[in-house]
A and B are shown apart, each in its own frame.
Chain A
Amino acid sequence: MERIKNLNKTTRSHIITFAIVIVAFVVMQALIAAHAVSHSIIGLLVPICAYVCMSISLNLVVGISGELSLGHAGFMSVGAFSGLVVASSLNTSINSAPLCLFVSIVIAGLFAAIAGLLVGLPVMRLRGDYLAIVTLAFGEIIKNLLNNLYVGMDNKGLHFSMKSVQALGMEGGKMLIEGPKGAVGIPQLSTFVAGFILILFTLFVVLNLIGSRTGRAIMAVRDNRIAAESVGINVTKYRLIAFVVSAALAGMAGALYAMNFSSIAPKKFDFNTSILVLVFVVLGGMGNIRGGMVAAAVLTVLPEQLRFIGDYRMLIYSVVLIGVMIVTNNPKIQRALEDFKGRFRRRGNKAAQAVDSLEGGVSDE
């Protein structure tokens, strides 16, 4: 107790964030073991994990670095497709599924990071609306490139083409990515446990980055670019760091996502998916990692749990979005929440003090 109390506020907040994830995981595992959850929830677990990772990684760009990026699904798709090529080609030589998944997720992250760097170098010289438009365009470019990408594998190894299947010149073998058709017959390696570990990893990277010297520099650039520049912070460099790390994490989430389904098409990672992830972040509160995670989980489950009302679920979904926006932005409601929190905190502090004095009296540490 004493030790936790002595930790600084951010560290304590980080521990709570990790604890929420771990508790949620343990509770879900227990429920699954007890057969208390439906097929539909179990089927949603891996997509939820992937979306939570996406939300955390986009939060790094939108919330922490303060840039509006509208092309995050592009990095997800780079990760998804590079990951599945790796997984499909290693599937026969690596027997252990978790190891194969691990290798492909790592390589997916690398490829997405490279894509992030290539996009980021020109883009990070822009600001505000321009940045939003250019990221949107890059997201679309990535989608269209993947729409024309053909990858096949035969005895000689991997073949790449931007034209057609025939241009690959394959001798038998099998197609891994087939242009607009995307990939089919993907090894389904993703598991809930893998998703959970990926969330922990993503959280670890992002939270540590935020707390580091680099993170403080990134936030300084966000808060006042001129002031940050005047104290010698390399603005482009720090914005680029946030952008590339975020792209890499999105790529990893993409690989996890792709390997949960046996088919995936480039069309999936369009502008709508980018906006979906942005909605998670905005709804959870920009810069609020925990809120973004909860929003991702809730907004993924909500449309599925509303299936019983048919097409009206589309309406409810948007009503919920608008409702949350109005409620959280209402100053009076915000004040009420703060009051409530304050009262809770005061009472909590009193209780803690009481406990402390008791403990002190009994055990005298």
Chain B
Amino acid sequence: MTNNGMSRRNFVKLSGIVAAGLGLAGCGGSNQSSGSSGGSSVGSGAGAIKIGGIGPVTGATAIYGNATKFGAQVAVDLINKEAGSTVFELNWQDDEGDAEKAVNAYNTLMDWGMQVLVGTTTTTPCVAVASKTSTDRVFELTPSASSTDVTAGKDNVFQMCFTDPNQGEKSAEYISKKNLGKKVAVIYNNSDAYSTGIYNGFSKVASGLGLEIVSTQTFTDDSAQDFSVQLNDAKSKGADLVFLPIYYTPASLILQQAKNMGFAPKFVGCDGMDGILTVQGFDTSLAEGLVLLTPFVASASDENTVNFVKAYKELTGTGEDPNQFAADAYDCVYAIYAAVKAQNISASTPTADMCNTLLKTFGSGTFTYSGLTGKDMTWSSNGEVSKDPKGVVIKNGKYESLDAEA
């Protein structure tokens, strides 16, 4: 036969590809199942409440998604250990920080039988998912999606973090209260909703608080490599404080480049700056004196924080301190636990009833929760949290509370 299409070599190649695929599928499968199947078999008696989580575990924002994922997992593990039975079961799905993928992840979780959603980590996906949970009547508590659009018009969505404009206003208040600087330069990412939101809040109240914004410079995700123009503008306008409402990756570059050009104002960041000390290859001495406002400090010495940091490090095995995102996710799970206990909710409660009970509890205004990211937090019925920010300054490569010092 001349038309024997496949030679032996090609057959070997092909089967190699197939085998590689199957092998990957195999090891992936076993990895994943150890988490979820173990949970369901233990909790088969009383039945565990199924908590779904959505956040970017891969992609550009993976660091936040992973933090929230591990933070939530730590909380679930601790709760189950304390209670001696499986109270919660967590299933975390990746959304790559994309609205389309987040809705897909949400649908996957609905197939799994999710009863409460902790997520999503980032804002744009969260808005898309929130409109789904709102129609499907699933209670949603997001650790870190901070835009006001997340909760607007939905009674079932609550936030654990500050809203962006709120954080901008609080930052301005904090700067003026602590007298950190008068002539402020702002460098923000105008292709990012988080950054733009904080800037809008900040600029609205700044002049009223005696802060003079001398320079406002922007960059985008695509131009986040060279900041010499922005820094030169701030320097030439005589700014004594540079406000950076941005994530820490570009911020680490800004600090480096400011040092190279001999510009040493005070730098102030927001909660997105948390994690700057863990950037690989970053000289932590550059961050000395950097002030950031964050609701959580890993070096705090209270018992809950110490336990959390220890459990988090054990779970991730990387030895890195948990950041604010992880703490927010941990608080989300514990806040839900507090409400579940208070209202005697069990796994057999239909999801829609559970949603109604939880949203009434959270939105009542009398429900308070004290956790890692704040004491006596309350929620308004529109879903926004009220808690105080903590000022942190970096000293000797460690976070130190600024409030205690003052």
- A residues neighboring B (CB under 8 Å): 38-40, 42-44, 47, 140, 144, 147-148, 164-165, 178-182, 184-185, 188, 261-268, 304, 306-316, 319-320, 322-323, 326-327, 330, 332-333, 335-337, 339
Contact = CB atoms under 8 A, between A and B. Distances in A.
A64 to B, nearest CB: 28
In the A-B complex, list the 4 residue pairs whose CB atoms are closest, starting with the nearest: A336-B5, A309-B28, A312-B28, A263-B127
A337 B10 CA distance: 14
B191 A180 contact: yes
Most buried by B among A42, A185, A261, A306: A261
A315 B24 contact: yes
Interface stretch (B103-111, B280-288, B324-332, B362-370): B103-111
Given A40-B107, A316-B25, A268 B17 contact: no
Contacts of A330: 10
A335 B3 contact: yes
Contact of A39 (B110, B124, B125, B153): B110
Contact of A165 (B5, B127, B131, B200): B200
Contacts of B189: 180
Chain B interface extent, by class: 35 or more
Given A148-B190, A180-B193, A181-B149, A312 B17 contact: no
Contacts of A47: 100
Contact of B3 (A43, A262, A336): A336
Residue among B104, B110, B221 with most chain A CB within 10 A: B104
A184 B152 CA distance: 10
A44 B192 CA distance: 27
Contacts, number: 152
A309 B107 contact: no
Interface string B217-242: 00011100000000000000000000
B71 interface: no
Contact of B196 (A181, A267, A306, A314): A181
A305 B243 CA distance: 44
A308 B32 contact: yes
15 contacts: A165-B200, A182-B193, A184-B149, A263-B127, A264-B128, A266-B191, A304-B104, A309-B32, A311-B58, A312-B24, A314-B58, A316-B25, A332-B10, A335-B5, A337-B5
B17 A322 contact: yes
B93 interface: yes
Interface in B73-132: 93-94, 98-100, 103-108, 110-111, 123-125, 127-128, 130-132
B13 A261 contact: no
A322 B110 CA distance: 32
A322 B16 CA distance: 12
A78 to B, nearest CB: 17
A147 B190 contact: yes
A301 to B, nearest CB: 10
Q: Interface centre among A42, A44, A265, A308, by most B CB within 10 Å?
A: A265
B404 interface: no
Given A308-B29, A311-B58, A339-B5, A261 B99 contact: yes
A319 B17 contact: yes
